[in-house]
């Protein structure tokens, strides 16, 4: 059963599980899976890879193919003056990597402390939090191209990074094997951009703070929102934020403002688009923290509106029903469509 490999603790069986502890073993497992298909265009659906399982929703029926468990771990550091290149294996636990880079006096990942999952997942999602995104530090992503049948290195421009997206997301052609990050050699953080974090640290936006202080503050903020893994916390079984903040065109934002009496939290972009808080929309559509379908075993986190949780007896079907209810409620109330942040395996919203 795949439920034991996901942070939601949901998901049915796989036809076959293969543990891969090196890039060579990952490639061999994928080649085995793809060789079972005779149509090249269908080859990429014969298997999927799973590492930390923190950003996937797996169907109750499971997956009718091979699931490759990424277990390649470790990283190396190469210092080059005021910068350091950190090469990390895809299966490396992410927060362990972040903690290690900070202890090495390397800045650039400190605001991404406490995020569950693996390093290889970070470029796929362009993981970000508290004013930082991995796209700012990634210099190369080494992948196995399942169409070409070869290992290639993709530069940051080719990754097509955007808000919670990249060329890798929803694209099983490329399987991440390792990632290179360029970090600053410094015991002080990068400039603090996120207002809430700046307030906690007692600094002005744009100022820096000691790396250890930033990590401690971020971990405390995440814990207060149920966004760290804690077996004693019933809100812990989630994928973090289930919906992304919607990015609206200028006209769409004007239409939204016409439907509300108070201006929603929003972040205008230079291209005229406006990112709006999904949590704000969800709460004002009638879905408060702790909202649950009684008896279904799933509900909104009691700490964070964006997290949908398995309360211990839930199913993937029930979780997706709740997600649809929220999505449809927001669309009816505000005319804005929410999109899921996690990858959906053998199921859909």
The region that residue 182 occupies, defined by phi over 0 for left and psi between -120 and 50 for alpha, beta otherwise, is: beta
Catalytic residue from among 146, 164, 215, 327: 164
Catalytic residue from among 113, 118, 166, 241: 241
Handedness of CA 259, 260, 261, 265 (dihedral sign): negative
Q: Which residues contact 262 (CB under 8 A, 6 or more apart)?
A: none
Q: Which residues of 166-204 are buried (b: 16+ CB within 10 A; e: fewer)?
A: bbbbeebebbbbbbbbbbeeeebbbebebeebbebbebe
CB 305 within 8 A of CB 281: no
User: Has 277 been annotated as catalytic?
Assistant: no
User: Has 259 been annotated as catalytic?
Assistant: no
The region that residue 142 occupies, defined by phi over 0 for left and psi between -120 and 50 for alpha, beta otherwise, is: beta
Cα separation, 185 vs 210, whole angstroms: 13
Q: Is 307 helix (H, G, I), strand (E, B) or coil?
A: strand
CA-atom Rg of the chain in angstroms: 20
CB 82 within 8 A of CB 35: no
Catalytic residue from among 89, 110, 133, 341: 341
Query: Integer distance in angstroms from the first to the last C-alpha of the chain?
Result: 22
Q: Which residues contact 225 (CB under 8 A, 6 or more apart)?
A: 301, 303, 304, 307
Dihedral in degrees, nearest 10, Cα atoms 51, 52, 57, 58 = 50
User: Has 164 been annotated as catalytic?
Assistant: yes
Active site residues: 164, 241, 341
């Amino acid at each position: 059963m795949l439920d034991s490999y996901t942070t939601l603790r949901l998901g049915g069986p796989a036809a076959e599980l293969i543990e891969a502890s090196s890039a060579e073993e990952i490639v061999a497992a994928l080649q085995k899976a793809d060789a079972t298909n005779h149509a090249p265009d269908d080859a990429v659906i014969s298997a999927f890879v799973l590492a930390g399982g923190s950003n996937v929703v797996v169907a109750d029926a499971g997956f009718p193919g091979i699931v490759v468990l990424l277990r390649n771990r470790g990283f190396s550091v190469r210092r080059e003056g005021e910068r350091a290149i950190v090469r990390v294996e895809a299966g490396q636990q992410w927060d362990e990597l972040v903690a290690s880079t900070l202890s090495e006096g390397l800045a650039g990942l400190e605001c991404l402390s406490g995020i569950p999952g693996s390093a290889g997942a970070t470029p796929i999602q362009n993981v970000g939090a508290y004013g930082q995104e991995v796209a700012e530090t990634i210099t190369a992503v080494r992948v196995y191209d399942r169409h070409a049948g070869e290992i290639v290195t993709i530069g940051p421009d080719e990754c097509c990074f955007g808000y919670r997206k990249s060329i890798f997301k929803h694209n099983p052609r490329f399987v991440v094997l390792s990632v290179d990050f360029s970090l600053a050699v410094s015991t002080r953080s990068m400039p603090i951009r996120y207002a809430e974090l700046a307030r906690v640290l007692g600094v002005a936006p744009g100022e820096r703070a000691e790396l250890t202080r930033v990590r401690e503050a971020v971990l405390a903020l995440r814990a207060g929102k149920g966004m760290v893994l804690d077996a004693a916390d019933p809100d812990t079984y989630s994928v973090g934020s289930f919906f992304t903040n919607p990015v609206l065109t200028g006209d769409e934002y004007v239409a939204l403002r016409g439907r509300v009496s108070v201006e929603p939290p929003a972040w205008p972009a230079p291209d005229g688009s406006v990112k709006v808080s999904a949590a704000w929309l969800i709460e004002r559509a009638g879905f408060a923290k702790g909202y649950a379908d009684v008896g279904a075993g799933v509900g909104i986190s009691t700490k964070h509106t964006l997290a949908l949780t398995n309360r211990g007896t839930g199913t993937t079907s029930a979780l997706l029903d709740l997600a649809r209810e929220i999505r449809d409620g927001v669309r009816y109330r505000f005319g804005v469509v929410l999109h899921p942040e996690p990858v959906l395996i053998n199921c859909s919203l």
